[in-house]
Structure formats: C-alpha cells, structure tokens
Amino acid sequence: MAVKQELLDIIACPKCKGTVKLNETGDGLACGNCRLLYRITDDIPVMLIDEAETIDS
C-alpha cells in the first residue's frame, strides 16, 4: 500500500463525511456508516460516490 498515513488520517467519506478505513486487502477505503468501498487505483483513492461499491454484510 502506497497511500500515506497522513492522507488516511485526514480523508473522509464524501457522502457522510465520516471516517474511512483501509480495507483488509489494502485495495480500498471503507466507510462503515454508508457501507461503501472506495477503490484505490494506482495508489490514489477514488473518492467518488458514483464509483463506490456497496459493502455486503
């Protein structure tokens, strides 16, 4: 994972403005409130609501 911790500390979910956390595989940022996963492509988080995937239970 090349996303820097400084970025992870300040980045927020664009939908609810809540905290996002790196997922288990390290290829996305997950918002627990919205249950959305924002993919990380080429070490850049894609923080677009329309591009996010729904997290299954």
pLDDT, one tens digit per residue, over 19-30 is: 999 999 999 999
CB neighbour list of residue 9: distance below 8 Å, 6 or more residues apart? none
Rounded mean pLDDT, 42-55: 95
pTM of the model: 0.88
* Gap between the Cα atoms of 42 and 19, Å rounded: 22
The full set of domains in the chain, from first to last, is: 5-54 (2.20.25.10)
